[in-house]
Amino acid sequence: MKLSDIAQKLGCEMRGMDVEITSVSGIDEADKGDITFVSNRKYISRIKTTKASAIILGKDIPPIDIPSLRTDDPYFAFARALEIFFEPLQPETGIHPTAVIGEGVILGNGVNIGSYAVIGRNCRIGDNTTIYPNTVLYPDVVVGRDCVFHSFVTVREGCRMGDRVILQNGVVIGGDGFGFATVDGVNHKIPQIGRVEIGDDVEIGAHTTVDRAAVDVTKIGKGTKIDNFVMIAHNVQIGENCIIVAHSGIAGSTKIGNNVTIGAQVGIVGHIKIGNNVTVSSQSGVSRDLRDGEVVGGNPITELKQSIKIRATMRKLPEMYKDIIKIKEKLEIKE
């Protein structure tokens, strides 16, 4: 495909020769015929060494020697270039004869269900949804259209999913929440009789668990994307278009607004409220409410810049300790 054709499809401005492009690759691995991209400024110096035939670049980057496509958002343009050159995995079509379809199940048009999948009684699955082999839907689950559930996904009884939801392998939606009443040293299970509701366009990474509510509902708003190994506890409510990175955990009944970004390995306590447009950096511990737009880090959390200063100063702690001893000696301060 000509670079000019790609430019047109992606709505980018072409600079340099109209070369022939045959594939897409990363900047280090690219070869002749490949188009690549730079969005992270860290990689700009590699433009000089890449073998790519063309690069998707920010409009603000100075002229370069090889042909380029210029755009305000090179990462997004790259994503769309991938869609031009690569066809997504095609599932086996239709309902595999070994799939167990319970009584009262209603399937839309064009639904694909793989081998050894189990669809519980009274589930409803929307048009063009694909369920890969060895996936289990418990009874009374509602799934929208154009969803993709990969192998070893569990959706537990009564949970509801929107349209275009993608669940990577091993996701568990609606496992029992962790609720026990301890009486005289013995832990009694609190029945977890609520459910989970997942909005449209949500994607959830491998093995992430979203626990069902004790009563009522655990909710994930539309457009939110969650990485692998994230733990969403019972009765948590997450807004729209959030990003939650791997190994983070959100404890019970906490409410999170829209467009919130949570880094990796973050812990958020239960029963708090986090506003819209909040950012929490990786490995932080959040134990209080956060207002709209707060950008925080550390444990205890502080405003992000302050948390970076605190971390930097921690390196000097042993030296500070010695200084204080020296000062106390000089001033003859005793314990």
From the CB of 158, what's the least distance to a second copy, in Å? 9
From the CB of 176, what's the least distance to a second copy, in Å? 6
Gap between the terminal Cα atoms of the chain: 79
128 scored as a contact of a second copy (CB under 8 A): no
Interface pick for a second copy out of 4, 122, 128, 282 (rule CB under 8 A): 282
From the CB of 97, what's the least distance to a second copy, in Å? 10
Q: Which stretch binds a second copy (CB under 8 A): 6-14, 58-66, 122-130, 310-318?
A: 310-318
Strands 130-131 vs 112-113: parallel, antiparallel or unpaired: parallel
40 scored as a contact of a second copy (CB under 8 A): yes
From the CB of 246, what's the least distance to a second copy, in Å? 5
Q: Which is nearer to a second copy, 51 or 225 (CB)?
A: 225
Q: Which stretch binds a second copy (CB under 8 A): 3-11, 12-20, 58-66, 146-154?
A: 146-154
- Count of H-run helices and E-run strands, the chain: 4, 37
Interface pick for a second copy out of 156, 160, 195, 219 (rule CB under 8 A): 156
Is residue 234 annotated as part of the catalytic site, yes or no? yes
204-223 positions binding a second copy, by CB under 8 A: 205-207, 209, 211, 213-217, 223
Closest CA to 173 of 257, 113, 230, 91: 230
Both structure tokens of 335: 């314990």
> How many CB atoms are closer than 10 A to CB 169?
16
d(CA 206, CA 267): 19
Q: Which stretch binds a second copy (CB under 8 A): 14-22, 62-70, 104-112, 323-331?
A: 323-331
Q: Which stretch binds a second copy (CB under 8 A): 5-13, 49-57, 288-296, 318-326?
A: 318-326
**Coil/strand/helix, residue 53:** coil
Q: Which is nearer to a second copy, 17 or 187 (CB)?
A: 187
d(CA 155, CA 172): 6
1 scored as a contact of a second copy (CB under 8 A): no
For the sheet containing 100-101, what is the strand order? 100-101, 118-119, 136-137, 154-155, 172-173, 209-210, 231-232, 249-250, 267-268, 285-286
> How many CB atoms are closer than 10 A to CB 256?
27
* CA distances (Å), origin 320, targets 92, 311, 314, 327, 328: 65, 14, 9, 10, 12
Catalytic entry in 207, 234, 247, 271: 234
Interface pick for a second copy out of 249, 256, 280, 296 (rule CB under 8 A): 249
45 scored as a contact of a second copy (CB under 8 A): no
**Coil/strand/helix, residue 335:** coil
Q: Which is nearer to a second copy, 9 or 247 (CB)?
A: 247
285 scored as a contact of a second copy (CB under 8 A): yes
Both structure tokens of 184: 């005289």
From the CB of 178, what's the least distance to a second copy, in Å? 4
54-113 positions binding a second copy, by CB under 8 A: 73, 75-76, 78-79, 82-83, 86, 88-89, 96, 98, 100
150 scored as a contact of a second copy (CB under 8 A): yes
CA atoms within 13 A on the CB side of 97: 0
User: What are the residue numbers of the active site?
Assistant: 234
